[in-house]
Structure 1
């Protein structure tokens, strides 16, 4: 069978799975089904491999290629287009066919020529005939509607960061970018923002169905509640009255659902056919180590075709979308929208560095959305150094699962470190000392005026550890069961009701959790977080800290903490395990030695590196390689390996480290020597010798250099590494040396002119007289300076100066992609005379100074500006950014007059208005 024939058979199979009837031209019967794919259909430019008919009308064409042509499918697009625009025999209407496919047996590319800017994309599987029928019946395509028909966003009741996120996302979708990332701080309303976007995509974009992926079942419930509570700005009804929202709890998707809420684990289960354990959805995938035993490839599921969802919103799910779970996202033909407060390098890489909105924790604190935090450390000797138990000491021995105790002697001296606490060893005194120290600190130093314990969340290592902590908290505080509760998925008491009480009621005052409240779950009254577990994942740690950042008004805080004397202004992180200082990683590796290339693993094994990590890493690479090689490559490797296949070599490495097999080998060796041994009586050196013997046998083939070379060559030929980790950046974007020389001349002319006229031109005098004489820099002064500069012979316009600095001082110049404003001349002067070390747009400087000014002002006042006052201060700030100053007369300008002008501003600020304007003119421009 030729490669072309093999590819055609696989294409036929995929078409049939999607509901197409395949026919040769001689057996043509367009009435046989709604969707008919006709092979070798004649056109006036030659026979097309497949022409697709839906309801007897030709709608698309497939150009088939052998599998080895996968890397060149884009080169086939002209051929596909030629058939699509050709005259089809026996067809009266010669309108070009709309749907264009290029396919091998493994890869499918698709182009919808009705899109505004048609662009091919890879899809997992062919679409169903009904889908193409629906698309042909619509007046416009989804991508056309996104690019041309999305109305302006109503900004009422939306924060600036939410407006930026929705508009940035819609701009990205209008450009047909397949992945977009919204980075918003915890508490900024990510889910609300996402629902706003989902509503607009359904109503104005005409999306059929949207998948809302969450990290755990608990977060799914929370998201569903937010959908039910959401009222769109242009309709008085709730979201769930307008659109069907399904929270998936079974293997079937409601055909009438327009929004499906699901964990990625459940969606993987639906697609792969592997039943899901309900508890699997209760634990964040950040806490789960994946193994190869979990691997089961997602295959086409006709009940859930690839076109099921138009968009996938990934809410705080970025920890879950790699490795095994990524298959779910690859399966659907959908644009991906990521929402996260804690991105890492993988996140940026996965979303193609397309960050459509960014709102940091620091910005959220400045805006009053979140609160800052202090760190309070508790160290104990046992936590730091561990301890030692002598042999023959009588102590409790507790079964981890049943917690049943037995009183017995220790068999030998047992030393343990702080890391082993609450895992192999529990030290009640260590727990007691930490809890007592926390109680004392909160009552005397952290919140000394409080009459009740502030709402406190304790992070424990395990459920067993949580139980120990709860017992100790109740004892140390002298309180009953209601005072301290466990909030984990394994708690016998309903976790949701405990969580609701923790949020809204007086009791419990302290909650202990392992992972349920670690991510995404809001408890606004929280004021103390106690870490009794270390966390190595940087992103997960930020998520855990995020449980305390939410701001809360004084009345709401007082409802659960009676003696609170105002709004929540901070939270305190109590570090009892060194979590703030411990080394954090971007993410947890799933392979033992992911940074070591296969060539080095092979060489290491040949040189005698036989540790578990090296052997298992090599085994994983070989097993993976075995699935990728063609028959010829496999044959070449078997020839130099002595008949051992790649897969068998990988498997033998894994088997060599099987603990049971090592014990069996040790027993057989002892028996051969005439020594009687049982499993329990084997000596450590006998087990080590058996392990070394098994590993040596499994590693023996790699002693051959020709095998190592053949394996490395096969890997290089067959595998491409898609690097999402190392993000690229432009280091030079080409002007010649001559252009650079010219740019230096422009800059020198500017510097010379400033020095020569610093006493004559008002704008220059302003900068040179600082800080001795502070006065308002006006727009007229900047216009005067620009007029002098732009005249012959020097002709130094703002745009020309900025361009010159960009060429010769690339790293110091920011905001090159912006349109220049006249006020950017302020930044140019400051940079030229050394007041600033970076050259960035004037508006950016004003924004930064405004954030600092308003934060300082709020702190000095003791109460923050109201939301309406803050909105007006932003309008005034924007006017300063474009005009260098603000005065009463400026309230007649459109952007201020439209909001109510001077009368409205005076009503909000009264006699403080002039003082505020003077402050802003000084602080934001100087």
Structure 2
């Protein structure tokens, strides 16, 4: 290691730069020992130019191509001011005695050895940017051979062919490419879940490879599952201008090791794997599991003495990728490994449905496209939702376990029970449920009411041919793995079903979670799945029609992601493969049993960063000197919860081991240790002691560093072996109480008022749409203005209305409008199975022909019965049995086709019974009159 004690700051910086250059593959030489043929890339120190001595001139194959201007580390804040000097050197001729070497050197760096900036003066509007390291000489050699730089190529991208793309996808791609052309380094695409983010990404990735000559593009995810989904999307993607698949045109590599193939043009990787590659470490398999923030590999990162920064890796240079697409970029995991993204000299493109403040900040507030859930519903890309509320007394108010009662106590981890008599009253609130206290009656009453509401209110028409009710695919959100077990047991009992009917899909499930999830998605069973976090985000289950919330959610983003599980559209055929009685997915229902839709939401960061790490390990890590923000916040969160549980006697005992500090004080110190405001306040005390003329940015940073270390020391010195054991033992004492005595009851089971508002708005939109188009659409004109001509309405006319609605107002699909009326009115009639018949029923209700909503098929049946009754009035059976059979056939034809003409008698089912000749034989000259009369009467 170089002794820097007697060196000046600029020399120290140059030594660092020398080391960086050598690691990047450059040969560093002085003028006295110059040998430009020694290798492909030579960095020549102290080279004279016409206007001064350049710190380094970069040579590729003996030709000068670049400049490095070095500055002392404490002058890093002045690098922007050096750009003029380094730019001048880039065009200056090199002086060699009385001779000059005159050529432009477009690749220009300014560096302190810690901070480095780079400008490519071949760009249309050259703009400097921070880079983690120097580029390899082979890269500059490749760039110098090309006529244009990457950023210049971006300016000549051809217009997008919009064929096969939705409007939101077109907007996203076009605006992103416009951002590229303006040389914006970061861009964010906000697109609703289910709106085709990955397809959009495949579209612009293809265009970048084909039209911009991008060398390699990275698609980064945070779970193995998302990586596999992305790989499938690229495999099936076929561009508009080529009949080959993407993977037939370009090599796509999903990274399963540290090896990155030289011929891969698209790499798919988790950010965890990239981190391990840059660290030169083997990646634990658990690191890429479905929830990256809850695994043993994360625990190992915390247990290190200090967070090791990313180092330069020659095998993976900073220019490895030209563009990086970051999927689900709202996730907090990207805050943990932000340094991985900062390592590469690449454009960054974020994809998310639910950005928060941190996401906007990271992407420089450059939101190139926003496509909200509401917009996606309006466009028919996603389905809307309704909220059904279930409330029980105990869910709302809690209860009291009385002294003297014999109850079970259950260990939270092992679930082992012990029977004991209570020696004092225990009052529990709604927030204690399924944590401190489990009340089986509370869970049972919610499930029982859900089962009842399904059949009567939520999806009442799901009865199969045997008369059995088919439960729609339902996802239940539980609070904990233990809570999920309790729910599953009760669901199976209340629905009178076996194990296959309801399954757990969580990280701790003994059965293979992926296998269960696949069956839930593609098979008839399970009908209900219970999860905690595993399929709350990023997992596609299109047949889902109900989300049952049995846990509250405080995060806005997380709640939106959870809701997103139900928004996906699905074809009727695909839905009926797993839900045979469903006709189509027009909406999904949130059943809110805990007030999740009404509780206050926040986008603030959660304190808990390591939810599966035992508290004993957190305490031990802090005691042994591990200083890590995630560790401190996780421990603080555990102690906050414990402080609310422990008794006054336990609090007094704790003071003996903590040096007189209570849990609130200890917790505050842990949080303050990484609170930037607290660090600044403490640092300011020392900064104020320094004379203003002596104050430098380096001294300010040093003061902040010292302040940070002082706060960490203050927080950690409290912990010791005795305190740790006491805290862990106290925590263990707090078991779950099983309240099997207090019986719960349902106090509310109804559509949420917001659902009523939504339903009112839908009915209003439907009525207004019909009113606006009544003069241009023939069928509507007849319904509104020509009641006598209703007999003339044909199947084609109704189909025209249906098609126009589907194109212009997909959210007003008959199924969905019918459901809205059902929320607002006491609809006694079942919805017709045929969508066009349902549409006629709705039109008749909207324009006032019918005073209540009822199926038009039922109206035709009633009108037919009344007509027959009148025909037979005063006469004894005017029609023979054979004539009645023909009349019923005519009635059935009108039910499906809304109108009958003489020509229809030549086709099925009439032709097989003798056609128009047979009818004339039966009815004689009355045949035409009867057809006209039935057309009029049945449509009345």
Q: Which residue of 1 aligns with 2:603?
A: 586
Q: Where do 1:807-822 residues align within 5 Å?
A: none
Q: Which residue of 2 aligns with 1:135?
A: 143
Q: Which residue of 2 aligns with 1:510?
A: 528
Q: Which residue of 2 aligns with 1:98?
A: 106
Cα distance change on mapping 1:439 and 1:623 into 2, 3 Å: same
Residue 298 of structure 1 contacts residue 327 of structure 1 at CA under 8 Å; is this kept in 2? yes
Q: Give the drift of 1:184.
A: 1.3
2:259 is the alignment partner of 1:232: no
Q: 2:331 is paired with a residue of what secondary structure?
A: helix
Residues in 2 aligned to 1:329 and 1:680: alpha-carbon distance in whole angstroms: 42
Residues in 1 aligned to 2:718 and 2:547: alpha-carbon distance in whole angstroms: 42
Residue 189 of structure 2 contacts residue 349 of structure 2 at CA under 8 Å; is this kept in 1? yes
Q: Which residue of 2 aligns with 1:573?
A: 590
Task: Give the counterpart of 1:526 among 505, 520, 544.
Answer: 544
Residues in 2 aligned to 1:583 and 1:395: alpha-carbon distance in whole angstroms: 34
Q: Where do 1:315-354 residues align within 5 Å?
A: 315-320=327-332, 323-354=335-366
| Post-superposition CA distance 1:547-601 (Å, at most 9, x none) | 101122322222211111x32111000111111111111132558999xxxxxxx
Cα distance change on mapping 1:475 and 1:265 into 2, 3 Å: same
Q: Give the drift of 1:264.
A: 2.1
Q: Which residue of 2 aligns with 1:614?
A: 668
Q: 1:62 is paired with a residue of what secondary structure?
A: strand
Cα distance change on mapping 1:629 and 1:330 into 2, 3 Å: farther
| Post-superposition CA distance 1:682-713 (Å, at most 9, x none) | x9xxxxxxxxxxxxxxxxxxxxxxxxxxxxxx
Q: Which residue of 2 aligns with 1:879?
A: none
Residues in 2 aligned to 1:480 and 1:404: alpha-carbon distance in whole angstroms: 24
Q: Which residue of 2 aligns with 1:379?
A: 391
Which moves more between the two structures, 190-199 or 456-465? 456-465
Residues in 2 aligned to 1:404 and 1:679: alpha-carbon distance in whole angstroms: 17
Q: Which residue of 2 aligns with 1:2?
A: 8
2:371 is the alignment partner of 1:364: no
Residues in 2 aligned to 1:654 and 1:515: alpha-carbon distance in whole angstroms: 32
Q: Which residue of 1 aligns with 2:809?
A: 854
Unpaired segments of 5 or more residues in structure 2? 1-6, 464-469, 608-628, 634-661, 692-698, 734-771, 774-804, 819-833, 837-940
Q: Give the drift of 1:645.
A: 5.9
Cα distance change on mapping 1:490 and 1:250 into 2, 3 Å: farther
Q: 2:94 is paired with a residue of what secondary structure?
A: coil
Q: Give the drift of 1:613.
A: 4.2
Residues in 1 aligned to 2:158 and 2:222: alpha-carbon distance in whole angstroms: 32
Q: Give the drift of 1:76.
A: 0.9
Q: Where do 1:79-118 residues align within 5 Å?
A: 79-90=85-96, 94-118=102-126
Which moves more between the two structures, 395-404 or 182-191? 395-404
Q: Which residue of 2 aligns with 1:913?
A: none
Q: Which residue of 2 aligns with 1:470?
A: 488
Residue 398 of structure 1 contacts residue 405 of structure 1 at CA under 8 Å; is this kept in 2? yes
Q: Give the drift of 1:506.
A: 1.2
Residue 670 of structure 2 contacts residue 712 of structure 2 at CA under 8 Å; is this kept in 1? no
Q: Which residue of 1 aligns with 2:179?
A: 172
Residue 435 of structure 1 contacts residue 472 of structure 1 at CA under 8 Å; is this kept in 2? yes
Cα distance change on mapping 1:40 and 1:533 into 2, 3 Å: same
TM-score, normalised to structure 1, is 0.67
Cα distance change on mapping 1:428 and 1:252 into 2, 3 Å: farther
Residues in 1 aligned to 2:423 and 2:31: alpha-carbon distance in whole angstroms: 83
Residue 276 of structure 2 contacts residue 283 of structure 2 at CA under 8 Å; is this kept in 1? yes
Task: Give the counterpart of 1:264 among 255, 267, 271.
Answer: 271
Residues in 1 aligned to 2:404 and 2:420: alpha-carbon distance in whole angstroms: 9
Cα distance change on mapping 1:622 and 1:114 into 2, 3 Å: closer
Residue 389 of structure 1 contacts residue 415 of structure 1 at CA under 8 Å; is this kept in 2? yes
| Post-superposition CA distance 1:100-122 (Å, at most 9, x none) | 10111221110111111111111
| Post-superposition CA distance 1:391-411 (Å, at most 9, x none) | 565444444344344445557
Residue 282 of structure 1 contacts residue 516 of structure 1 at CA under 8 Å; is this kept in 2? no
Q: Where do 1:771-786 residues align within 5 Å?
A: none
Q: Give the drift of 1:61.
A: 0.5
Task: Give the counterpart of 2:260 among 248, 253, 258.
Answer: 253
Task: Give the counterpart of 1:198 among 196, 202, 205.
Answer: 205
Task: Give the counterpart of 2:30 among 24, 29, 42.
Answer: 24
Q: Give the drift of 1:609.
A: 12
Task: Give the counterpart of 2:19 among 13, 20, 37.
Answer: 13
Q: Which residue of 2 aligns with 1:535?
A: 553
Residue 586 of structure 2 contacts residue 813 of structure 2 at CA under 8 Å; is this kept in 1? no
2:218 is the alignment partner of 1:157: no
TM-score, normalised to structure 2, is 0.66
Cα distance change on mapping 1:413 and 1:27 into 2, 3 Å: farther
Q: Where do 1:819-898 residues align within 5 Å?
A: 854=809
Cα distance change on mapping 1:321 and 1:131 into 2, 3 Å: farther
Tell which has more relative contact order, 1 or 2 (C-alpha 8 A, sep 6+): 2
Larger gyration radius, structure 1 or structure 2: 2
2:192 is the alignment partner of 1:185: yes
Residues in 1 aligned to 2:165 and 2:215: alpha-carbon distance in whole angstroms: 26
Unpaired segments of 5 or more residues in structure 1? 595-607, 668-677, 684-773, 776-849, 866-926
Which moves more between the two structures, 236-245 or 117-126? 236-245
Residues in 1 aligned to 2:488 and 2:707: alpha-carbon distance in whole angstroms: 53
| Post-superposition CA distance 1:465-505 (Å, at most 9, x none) | 22222222111111112111222233333323322221222
Which moves more between the two structures, 471-480 or 376-385? 376-385
Task: Give the counterpart of 1:51 among 45, 53, 57.
Answer: 57
Residue 457 of structure 1 contacts residue 526 of structure 1 at CA under 8 Å; is this kept in 2? yes
Q: Which residue of 2 aligns with 1:448?
A: 460
Q: Give the drift of 1:365.
A: 1.0
Q: Give the drift of 1:413.
A: 4.5
Cα distance change on mapping 1:522 and 1:438 into 2, 3 Å: same
2:520 is the alignment partner of 1:494: no
Residue 212 of structure 1 contacts residue 312 of structure 1 at CA under 8 Å; is this kept in 2? yes
Cα distance change on mapping 1:32 and 1:99 into 2, 3 Å: same
Q: Give the drift of 1:174.
A: 1.1
Residues in 2 aligned to 1:273 and 1:657: alpha-carbon distance in whole angstroms: 36
